[in-house]
Chain A
């Protein structure tokens, strides 16, 4: 009898728990969800925002096999907030949208200029959205950007969104700007957020690079010198002050950001050749140690000293090059030093004076100069950062060329 009672109570509890948890299971069941891989946020025509959702069909991915590109669907809706847009789209799709696999959040430049802090808070409050998904500020509309993001070398769009930023580790022309980092920098009192600058290469006659230099490093999304089929470009950075987009950085400025942020494994620069007039030498630079940042205060203004150390390897080779000569190597090193010092200084003054934004979180280094939080808040790092002075010291040791030493 006692045994029977135990079995009965077990069965009753099992049934009750199964029924009570089934509603949560049904909600997250693969048959009932629409998987969002990217969200685009533009200014709405009839409402505050126009939110675009890019979906992928999980069953079509498995059916299509790995050699074919999985089809995606792009749907947009006008709404007052992201949550309302999700709600409207739920009813339109007949399925519940899940942001658990969302890899990309795109804001149009227009929306970003008005401030995106509310949207970022909402996304961070969502239990499904991942802090690792990338934040892109598109120079065209977010909807157009997502629609034209075609993974040429990847069958899966979600994998493409996840991997396209990895090039930053060896080019430094874009940065890994995740939602979590953006939110952290937005709240932090000693730093400012940044996002990837994206665009679509329209290949129009007037879309050629509008820069003073003819170097590739001056490329920026939407106006790069790339040709081929239309595709999204992610070159440069979008600079924010708190939650508002204030300016953009081109490829070489982004490289400077990455070097100071110690978030790069190597990069290629072209410096004037010391032995051939009007010619450049391509040097592949790798950080020899982390960039040292030292902050002090002179008459209440931050005085920031940066000390960077790199190793270099010459990539370009011409006739009559002699890279076994120590003098040639030291002259190339000097050339690299001057070039990088100039680039880093220009970048730092541009972000501090023009954008008044500390995206490198130099303010965190200054925290140790204040014994208490109230003293730090009274000083107001964000207000004083625009008055900063920079002293950049770069030491590049060009060691050799690669396979050929002289010709």
Chain B
């Protein structure tokens, strides 16, 4: 997979794809339930922190040229740490993507396929993964590059299409649930920037590794703008989005767009775009999972894994008994899981590896000085 090299623009699209796909389901609603009317301010605050984290990741990765976090773990703690970190990141990608897929398919079923078993709504996405896994990573990235701009435009359209219904008074009370809920415990909303996890795996694929700084900062900045558009649409549109849980809040927001008598029911068009976006998200997480597993097991070819990971995603997505379990996992488990893995474990490994490198560098210099 690492034989395929991607441009910096494609890398940015891959990272933002992870941000975007979570907003299609209940991410904006989770953010709003945490910080209520102060969500926009909180997002700006958390976004600035995320930009700093992205910059920190760039600085820490800089010393390891084209290595990803699995290679760095190997350097830091040998095969044992490599396998532990690998398993944790595979679990992270598989569990979050399976939960997201199930959540999206539940919404799809409610809106369009009320009589169809959830298994059959999930299966087409898994078939897409079978097919894309048999293709090269380059062709997968090209597909993402095609779909990604449409998704971004759709959200801007969603925002301006609903502009007449907006009530800017909904941004108040300015501090929402309070200062500490917005700026102290509100930091937990950083889980929205889970797409940062891709930054750990992108370096080996880059055509121009020197553009890593641009990739890190641009992707988080675009993601932040995207979040602001999505959350503002939901916060400013109707108060019930804040007080009542919706299965697919952006889908509900799209149903309010009407341009006269003839241009109505645009939500179906949005749903089509979002189906493609979820497909792109699954391709990325699935590809990274395969890549990690390949590195852990030193496999030369990927083909035997092409079916295993999609089937794992299908299996885990079928595990939740009902929608309330999915929402519980999303809000109470995965949010902290993301923070722990992406923002604590990832950065800790990079920091320790950098310390080890510096120590080795010093030792090398001392030995060199002694020899001289």
Interfacial residues, chain A to chain B (CB-CB below 8 A): 13, 16-17, 20-21, 23-24, 26-27, 124, 127, 130-132, 159, 162-163, 180, 183-184, 187-190, 361, 364-365, 367-368, 370-376
Q: Is B177 an interface residue (CB 8 A)?
A: yes
Shortest Cβ distance from residue A37 to the other chain B in the assembled complex, whole angstroms: 15
Nearest B residue to A377, CB-CB: B173
- A residues near B172, Cβ cutoff 8 Å: 364, 367-368, 370
Binding site for A on B (CB under 8 A): 36-37, 110-117, 120, 123-124, 127, 167, 169-170, 172-179, 238-240, 243-244, 252, 255-256, 258, 261, 264
B258 and A371 contacting across the interface, CB-CB below 8 Å: no
Contacts known (A371-B173, A373-B176); A187 close to B116, Cβ less than 8 A: no
A91–B252 CA distance with the chains assembled, in angstroms: 30
State whether A188 and B174 are in contact (beta carbons under 8 Å apart), knowing that A17-B124, A24-B116, A131-B256 are contacts in the complex. no
* Least CB separation from B36: chain A residue: A373
Q: Does B114 lie within 8 Å of A374, measured CB to CB?
A: no
Would A132 and B177 be within 8 Å (CB), given that A21-B116, A361-B167, A368-B172 are in contact?
Answer: no
Known contacts A13-B127, A132-B256; decide if A27 and B115 are in contact (CB<8 Å).
yes
User: Which residues of chain A come closer than 8 Å to B123, judged between CB atoms?
Assistant: 16-17
CB of A375 to closest CB in B, whole Å = 7
Nearest-neighbour CB distance to chain B for A190, whole angstroms, equals 8
Task: Please pick, from B110, B120, B167, B177, the residue contacting A127 in the complex, using a CB distance under 8 A.
Answer: B110
Q: Which of A20, A188, A375 contacts B173 (CB 8 A)?
A: A375
CA distance A84 to B120 in the complex (A): 29
Contact A374 B178 (CB under 8 A): yes
> What are 17 A-B pairs with beta-carbon distances under 8 A?
A20-B116, A23-B115, A131-B252, A131-B255, A132-B256, A183-B238, A188-B239, A367-B172, A367-B173, A368-B172, A368-B173, A368-B174, A370-B172, A371-B174, A372-B175, A373-B173, A374-B178
Do A23 and B116 touch (CB < 8 A)?
A: yes
A373 pairs with B255, CB closer than 8 A: no
Chain B neighbourhood of A13, CB < 8 A: 127
The distance from the CB of A179 to the nearest CB of chain B, in whole angstroms, is: 11
Residues from chain B with a CB closer than 8 A to the CB of A187 are 239-240, 243-244
Q: How far is the CB of B263 from chain A (nearest CB, A)?
A: 12
- In the bound assembly, the distance between CA atoms of A131 and B37 in angstroms comes to 23
Which of B36, B120, B264 is in CB contact (< 8 Å) with A17?
A: B120
Cα distance A370–B167 when bound, in Å?
Answer: 17
A residues in contact with B36, CB < 8 Å: 373
Q: Quote the shortest CB–CB distance from B233 to chain A (angstroms).
A: 14
B240 touches A24 (CB 8 A): no
In the bound complex, residues from chain B placing their C-beta under 8 Å from that of A375 are: 173
B residues near A372, Cβ cutoff 8 Å: 173, 175-179
* Chain B residues whose C-beta falls within 8 Å of the C-beta of A184 in the assembled complex: 238-240
Q: How far is the CA of A391 from the CA of B279 in the complex (A)?
A: 57
| CB closest residue in chain B, given A188 | B239
Given A370-B172, A376-B173; 9 other pairs, CB 8 A cutoff: A24-B114, A27-B114, A127-B110, A131-B256, A162-B261, A180-B256, A187-B240, A187-B243, A368-B174
Nearest 7 CB-CB pairings of A with B:
A364-B169, A20-B120, A367-B172, A23-B115, A24-B113, A184-B238, A188-B239
Chain B residue contacts of A127, Cβ below 8 A: 110-111, 114
* Closest residue on chain A to residue B182 by CB atoms: A372
CA distance A286 to B45 in the complex (A): 43
Most buried by A among B172, B175, B177: B172
Cα distance A151–B356 when bound, in Å? 81
Please, which residues of chain B bring their CB within 8 A of the CB of A130?
Answer: 255
In the bound assembly, the distance between CA atoms of A24 and B114 in angstroms comes to: 6
B114–chain A nearest beta-carbon distance, Å: 6
Tell me, rounded to whole Å, the shortest Cβ–Cβ distance linking B303 to chain A: 13
CB distance from B299 to the nearest CB of A (A): 22
Taking the closest CB of chain A, its distance from the CB of B126, in whole angstroms, is 10
CB-CB under 8 A from A24, the residues of chain B are 112-116
Cβ of A374: which chain B residues have Cβ within 8 Å of it?
177-178
Q: How far is the CA of A370 from the CA of B171 in the complex (A)?
A: 12
Q: Complex Cα distance A361/B36, Å?
A: 19
Cross-chain contact A373 with B37 (CB below 8 angstroms): yes
A163 to B260, CA, bound (A): 10
Q: Which residue of A lies closest to B238 (CB)?
A: A184
- What's the nearest-Cβ distance from chain A to residue B261, in Å? 6
On chain B, the residues within 8 Å of A188 by CB distance are 239-240
Q: Is the CB of A21 within 8 A of B113?
A: yes
One of B124, B169, B258 near A367 (C-beta < 8 A): B169
Contacts of A376 in B (CB 8 A): 173
**What chain B residues lie within 8 Å of A373 (beta carbons)?**
36-37, 173, 176-177
Q: Check A365/B169 contact, CB under 8 A, given A17-B123, A23-B115.
A: yes
CA distance A361 to B238 in the complex (A): 12
Residue of A nearest to B115 (CB): A23
